[in-house]
Structure 1
Amino acid sequence: MLRLLLTLLCLCVLPARAGFTDERPDLQSLFGGTPGCFVLYDLGADRLLLVNPERAQRRYIPASTFKLANSLIALETGAVHDADEVIPYGGRPQPFKAWEKDMPMREAFPVSSVPVYQEIARRIGLPRMQAMLRRLDYGNRRTGPAADRFWLDGPLQISAVEQARFAARLAQGSLPLSARSQSTVREIARVGSRDGSTLYGKTGWVFGTQPQIGWWVGWIEREGRVYGFALNIDMQGEQDIGRRTQIGEAILGKLELY
């Protein structure tokens, strides 16, 4: 009986057991009144840090953050040979001049070229896309009937918690995909390094909802550890584009990660 009591006492004082969740309402002030949430997933400790937990569990359309998964699926299925294969954009006028050119994933990913990634998705096709979404357990895993719109308009949706976990697994190379596919996507998702941390990420902007939704999803590598993160905020329009990374970097800075 004494041994059992001692064991229970030890379990009660463990600071961060597997699956531990840490809510941080104090970080909400960094949103400056903008509705939103932030998730940090410490992969090594299986520990979640949540700002606005209710919203962090709510699923939204992923928009261009799906380029992480789309790139992986393209490489894994052979729809695209590598990050340097040039993909045609289709020749139609685009909302951003940077999208009006044929380009490889290595270039299309950072400029977030929608037409190039729509062509990639059409090459993959709905049957293979649906199978890979199930394999990756990505959000609600739904595509609907259009192979090139489901991550822009729905029905595909994913939560910030799911995004952060997905990003951390990609960072570690533990998704159920080849090492080559994961390594290539990590390479094109790299943003930069400073103060001992390396940042990887992808933004997203959901146009067709009111309010619009802005995303920033990625991971930090620091001192041999991996931290997946995901942020989403309400946006009123193009004037709010910069707030996604501004708020995210302010939180990462407060946490002394970047």
Structure 2
Amino acid sequence: MIRTVLTATISLMTLAPLASQGAASERVICPLAQEIGAPAPLLSQGQCGTRISPASTFKIAISLMGFDSGILTGPDTPEWPFQPGYPDWRGEWKQPTTPASWLTYSVVWYSQQITQRLGPDRFDAYVRAFGYGNQDVSGDPGQQNGLTNAWLSSSLQISASEQVAFLTRMLAGGLPVSDDSVAQTRAILDRHSPRGGWQTFGKTGAGLPFGPDGTRLRGQPFGWYVGWAENGDRTVVFARLVRFDTRPDRTPGDIARDGLLQALFASGGPLS
């Protein structure tokens, strides 16, 4: 049942997209970057208060929950086997998976195993304690699938401003989780070293937005990249949200990531 519900959303997030008939038009909803302790953002344009599904960027929150609760214990433990019936749109998903490979390959079923082990009450409590977006983990209407689907183009919605606020609280020790859970999550996030001693930590995500009638707009995906950059005692928290009118030739999250890194670190950028 989970496979049926997720097919349309997860396939575009995880498989190499098929080429469209023409070039997909990218619309940047919001690039936002805020240095911790600075009075004004380095980047802030567009509709940074617009909420949309967090998609795979929610794995940061799930990782915090998993390590804080003791379900996850390190980058390599637990290692859980793939089971028939799990979402399997990428070949890398059809193998034993650890916390590190979960984030590397953005393995949906591993996220679902964590949330199911948490159970609905603890899962809901964490989301509310995190103040995460609209905090709605009910899932698709009438499906009772919030525990496994709420963050996948479903009920849970968050804006770029809220993504940055959530990560800023996490880095400042302001979330009700252990320091170790933050350190463990940091250790398994995607890293880049763009230039000048900066190192970035982040997570991409992609999915389908809702239209005015509440149905998913198939073939018009969005892409996220959220995280932070460190250099000495400086920390810059960021989020970039993009939308497309047709399916692009690359994964939307990768496009969002590359655009954010370009905006911050290319010649003339605020961190160049």
Structure 1 length-normalised TM? 0.80
Offset of 1:33 from its aligned partner? 6.3
Larger Rg: 1
The reply on whether 1:143 has 2:153 as its aligned counterpart is: no
Cα 1:90–1:153 change in 2 (3 A) is: farther
The match for 1:115 among 106, 109, 113 is: 109
Partner residue in 2 for 1:29: none
* Residue in 1 that maps onto 2:68: 76
Residue 83 of structure 2 is matched in structure 1 by: 90
Q: CA RMSD in A?
A: 2.1
Higher helix share: 1
Letter of the 2:79 partner, please give it. Answer: V
Question: Does 1:234 pair with 2:243?
Answer: yes
Distance 1:135 1:46, change over 3 A: farther
- Alignment partner for residue 269 of structure 2, among 232, 241, 255? 255
Counterpart secondary structure, 1:106: helix
Unaligned runs of 5+ in 1: 1-31
| Change in CA separation of 1:65 and 1:46 when aligned onto 2, cut-off 3 Å | farther
Q: Does the 8 A contact of 1:167 with 1:218 survive in 2?
A: yes
Unaligned runs of at least 5 residues, structure 2: 1-23, 139-143, 210-215
- Structure 1 residues 170 and 212 mapped into 2: Cα distance closer, same or farther (>3 Å)? same
Specify the alignment match of 2:21 in structure 1: none
1:22 matched residue in structure 2: none
The 5 A counterparts of 1:75-224 are: 75-84=67-76, 85-92=78-85, 94-144=88-138, 145-146=144-145, 147-193=147-193, 194-207=195-208, 209-210=216-217, 211-224=220-233
Where relative contact order (Cα < 8 A, 6+ residues apart) is larger, the structure is: 2
The one-letter code sitting in structure 2 at the alignment partner of 1:200 is F
1:256 to partner: Cα distance: 4.0
Amino acid at match of 2:196: D
Q: Percent identity?
A: 30
Q: Which moved more, 1:41-50 or 1:223-232?
A: 41-50
Once the two structures are superposed, what CA deviation does each residue of 1:105-132 show, in whole Å capped at 9, x if it has no partner?
Answer: 1111121111111111111111101100
Distance 1:33 1:120 in 2: 36
Compute the TM-score of the two structures, normalised by the length of structure 2.
0.77
* CA separation of 1:190 and 1:169: change in aligned 2, threshold 3 A: farther
